Chains A and B, each alone.
Chain A
Amino acid sequence: MSSRDYLGEFEHIVVLALLRLSDQAYGVTVRQEIEVRTGRAVSIGAIYATLGRLETKGYVNSYLGDPTPERGGRSKRFFRVTAKGVAAVNRTHRALRSMTEGLRLARSY
């Protein structure tokens, strides 16, 4: 297992947003989900750059929906987490749990 099998911090957040949104995961909803849950302002560009990276690694796949008038006749690109992506999330979680086990994270430095 190489270090590439773990998700980066923002990749991790994006994959979790995709899992939460299930069939409704596309740029707008992913961006809003992350903003609402983390309070972190992100741009569509950051979301797509990360999704592109995840798609190259085989952790997510995408397909185009039907064009809609409110989008100027453009289609939504929906994203789904693959089995390989779910495995990567689990691996990252396990690694984080293992690293934080026994730590008193409430301690102020």
Chain B
Amino acid sequence: MTQASSVQPPRVAVWLLDLFTPYEQTESIPGDLLEEFSDVAAKSGVAYARRWYWRQSVRTVFHLVRSGFRVAPWSIAGAVVGGVLLVQLGHAFTEGGIRTWNEFLSHHVHRVSHFDLFLMNSGMYLWRLTVSMLIGCIIALACKSREMLATITVSLVCSIQAVTGFWTFLHGWSPPLPIVLVGALYSFGGLFAMLIGCGIVRKYRFRSLRPDIVGPN
């Protein structure tokens, strides 16, 4: 084995590419890039080859996203509308749960320590993240092959609401940095949880599918 062929492309770029590559092209696109990467590394050096791989990956992801919207616009639009509704519903339930729990505490428990409050808030936050992750899984299950594209679009649409919420939280007072970080985590954590949920579904689907090898007619 030559030195060039033992060199691996940048892991983050490979991961990024894997996220967006449709199942029918999981053999061809990463394989083609790896093959050319080895050639470029042998001819022009590893550093150049890594930069080349990054450029190719980013441009390829751009084309995959564009062609995804072009090939399946209605299924993505449906997933986005359904996903945003699910997010609203999920968060309404979570907020309702938090409110009910707080009312229960204020009526039935007379002394609540700071530690108890911390545990309750953390629990509620974890619940919110779990709901978001489940929504990500549902979107991914509904949108075969283009699941990451659909989930990212839902996340971007929901991020408008998250940014507005975060800005409202910060508006009118200047909280200390830890509070800002907690606020950011609360506002944006759900979006990342949704993407993680989608990533989990994609990973398991990817493992279960075997590409059908069709010979020349």
- Report which A residues bind B (CB closer than 8 A): 26-28, 31, 43-46, 48-49, 52-53, 56, 61, 63-64, 67-68, 70-72, 74-78, 80
Contact = CB atoms under 8 A, between A and B. Distances in A.
B116 interface: no
B215 interface: yes
A45 B28 contact: no
Contact of B28 (A48, A68, A70): A48
Contacts of B217: 61, 63
Chain B residues touching A, majority SS: helix
Nearest to B5: A70
A54 B88 CA distance: 40
Interface of B: 5, 25-36, 38, 55-56, 59-64, 66-67, 71, 211, 213-217
A71 B34 contact: yes
A76 B31 contact: yes
B28 A63 contact: no
Contact of A26 (B26, B32, B63): B32
Contacts of A43: 55-56, 59-60, 63
Contacts, number: 90
Contacts of A76: 28, 31-32
A24 to B, nearest CB: 13
17 contacts: A27-B29, A28-B36, A43-B55, A43-B56, A44-B33, A44-B60, A45-B60, A46-B60, A52-B71, A53-B67, A56-B71, A64-B214, A68-B35, A70-B5, A74-B34, A75-B211, A77-B25
Given A43-B56, A63-B216, A71 B64 contact: no
Contact of B63 (A31, A46, A61, A77): A46
A71 B211 contact: no
B36 A75 contact: no
A78 B29 contact: no
Contact of B27 (A44, A45, A52, A77): A77
B127 to A, nearest CB: 39
Given A72-B30, A75-B31, A77-B25, 5 more contacts: A28-B36, A46-B63, A61-B217, A63-B213, A75-B211
Given A45-B62, A49-B67, A63-B214, A70 B32 contact: no
A104 B35 CA distance: 44
Contacts of B28: 26-27, 48, 64, 74-77
Contacts of A56: 71
Contacts of B38: 70
A3 B59 CA distance: 29
Contacts of A80: 216
B63 A48 contact: yes
B35 A71 contact: yes
Nearest to A23: B216
Nearest to B1: A69
A83 B27 CA distance: 26
A16 B60 CA distance: 22
A45 B31 contact: no
